Structure 1
């Protein structure tokens, strides 16, 4: 899959592009089941909210078949290859699980400053691709992005280790206020199966989730191979040090996996 001219222009101007209903209901059902299996395990690469609820499951594509297939799916890989014009590798793969009632805030930030300061990524030639596993609504802690903020480059940030259980290089209130006054805030929302691709320097964050509706999102971060990290300080499960180019797989592979998973599901689960 490639982005069309309108989508490319939108990405260049706004710093993000949203692709609704990119994955089928059957595929999302299989991926949601995969994420539930991952989040139910006890592993050091699954980070938790302060109350113990799973917050982020890192690198689950390395041991979960559904996540592995998603990480190389052509619908995610090909547009990034198209934008960068070179091979890409997986810098990070994670499931962010903003749980019902207890999902905490993600502070205002850009991704590239964290990748640069913590991992030694040379340039902002990497991108986050978000796959909605649940419906993302205006009320359940959707991602908020500041359009056009990527055009300001990497902004000054500070290391926040107190606000939540996830340390992050975050932006101060004045910087965010100035950006929002110039560009506003948008909240890409939609059904499970939607895909949001956004620039490494776009300003974004999300509020907590106090609704009964969970908001799980898979984030695949792809970086240009020429942009491989040089001074990693974080564990390999957070910032991968295998720079092997991703070879995209046909969308049919994940579809067949979803069909097999549906046929293999226990009858009790199908009845439910």
Structure 2
């Protein structure tokens, strides 16, 4: 590997991964919630305590029905735009050739740019991370009926650390549902409490790994025994809810989702906020940085 973080940084790194032939569990030392209910934000003490305990917290009705309809129309517009489909930021399902994801969507869509700065979203991210925040990644995930592909079990932080150079798991994702999330249409699954344990993965990062991993991730996914051990320790929560609901979850949560073989589509807007005090450097365990649209290098705080 060439453009990886310096040897001193890697030697001192607690979250070593993709360098050993055997996986390992590393217990986290950093907090999950860096702010509190006295910080300017819309979370109360009970919600922040749930986030600290489980690694995630739901916000029912973050968007009203009119807003949901507006964002659904925007998702349809983007998916049907030939220029967007031809852009490198658009990921196509390998089997159905339908749109799987559109990355850096807050720079493509003015509507989603406004959502990033909406206090209902932004203030909660600041509260959790205890600082100003920037957008590390944004995307739309489409999971149409009869063929929407799943996402295998993984920790986002494992990838962001390895391939984007994120120092610690001081980042939070906000998934905003634009369709009803049922237990049967490929809903998000999270192992509550798994955010407190980092699972190292086996397999060196190949060059341009993002070109395949965004369609179907293999490198950076835990082995079966590690997933089984975490599931037995924490159980699995199925995150369901009405369109307009949101789920904030920690960067190190073990999560995934199954294929959608039902007639009922599932789509969401996915916003990743990172603390400005946790800005990314060189990748720890990858040959080179991923493209800007996958792992941002603009650390300007959102206001």
TM over 0.5: yes
**Deviation of the 1:30 alpha carbon:** 0.6
For residue 38 of structure 1, give the secondary structure of its aligned residue in structure 2: helix
Q: 1:164 and 1:122 mapped to 2: Cα distance?
A: 22
**Deviation of the 1:231 alpha carbon:** 1.7
> How has the CA–CA distance of structure 1 residues 73 and 166 changed in structure 2, closer, same or farther, with 3 Å as cutoff?
farther
Say which of 218, 229, 232 aligns to 1:178.
229
Counterpart residue number, 1:155? 199
Q: Give per-residue Cα distances to partners, 1:82-117, cap 9 Å, x unaligned.
A: 122211000000001112111112010001010000
Counterpart residue number, 1:202? 253
Q: Give per-residue Cα distances to partners, 1:214-246, cap 9 Å, x unaligned.
A: 110111000000111112611111111111000
Counterpart residue number, 1:237? 293
| Alignment of 1:219 onto 2:259 | no
**Deviation of the 1:158 alpha carbon:** 3.9
Counterpart residue number, 1:18? 58
Counterpart residue number, 1:165? 215
| Structure 1 stretch displaced more, 137-146 or 39-48 | 39-48
What stretches of structure 1 of length at least 5 have no aligned partner?
248-272
Say which of 182, 185, 190 aligns to 1:140.
185
Contact 1:149 1:202 in 2 (8 A): yes
Instruction: Identify the structure with the greater helix proportion.
Output: 1
Name the TM-score, length of structure 1 as normaliser: 0.87
For residue 230 of structure 1, give the secondary structure of its aligned residue in structure 2: coil
RMSD: 1.6
Q: 1:192 and 1:185 mapped to 2: Cα distance?
A: 22
**Deviation of the 1:47 alpha carbon:** 0.3
Q: 1:223 and 1:67 mapped to 2: Cα distance?
A: 18
Counterpart residue number, 1:92? 137
Contact 1:71 1:93 in 2 (8 A): no
Q: How many residues end up aligned between the 2 structures?
A: 246
**Deviation of the 1:164 alpha carbon:** 7.6
Contact 1:105 1:164 in 2 (8 A): no
Name the TM-score, length of structure 2 as normaliser: 0.78
Q: Give per-residue Cα distances to partners, 1:163-205, cap 9 Å, x unaligned.
A: 8823351111111111111111011101100000011111000
**Deviation of the 1:26 alpha carbon:** 0.5
Counterpart residue number, 2:161? 116
Q: 2:48 and 2:127 mapped to 1: Cα distance?
A: 10
Q: 1:39 and 1:158 mapped to 2: Cα distance?
A: 35
Counterpart residue number, 2:78? 38
Q: 2:78 and 2:214 mapped to 1: Cα distance?
A: 22
For residue 47 of structure 2, give the secondary structure of its aligned residue in structure 1: helix
| Structure 1 stretch displaced more, 158-167 or 234-243 | 158-167
Contact 2:129 2:172 in 1 (8 A): no
Q: 2:172 and 2:102 mapped to 1: Cα distance?
A: 19
For residue 220 of structure 2, give the secondary structure of its aligned residue in structure 1: strand
